[in-house]
Amino acid sequence: MTTEATLARVRDVCLALPEAREKLSHGMPAFHIDKGKMFAYFWNDHHGDGVTALIVKTSGQEEQETLIEIDPDCYYRPPYFGPSGWVGMRLDRDEIDWDRVSDRVAISWELVAPARLLEAGGR
């Protein structure tokens, strides 16, 4: 899958969530809740690292470490975001589990969504 096709698929997943919007942040596509916090970043060869990934929030360091331990081929601790508990999901592998990507994006969205969206049924 090309980088453009991968980004298109990420956009479909992220923008399907209530009040989700996209903007550029630090030169990369970033997804946030309208007038709110970021919940995902599309990372492509950032500073020449050769990685294509989706960076999403976790509940914290413990969840981040567990995900990486369970599947280190998929998950990693991304620079800049990792110390805050975010986790990277590799999208540059031969097989991408888009159901897993969708689930992690939804969890990340829920972690930053305002109460009014969660109470309204969220996703």
pLDDT at 123: 56
Instruction: State whether the Cα torsion 3-28-98-20 is positive or negative.
Output: negative
Rounded to two decimals, the pTM is 0.92
* For residues 91-114, average pLDDT: 94
Dist CA 100 CA 113 (whole Å):
20
User: Does position 48 have pLDDT exceeding 90, yes or no?
Assistant: no
Mind listing the domains of the chain with CATH numbers? 3-111 (3.90.1150.30)
How many residues are present in the chain? Answer: 123
Mean of per-residue pLDDT scores for the chain: 93
Run of H or E including 39: strand 38-44
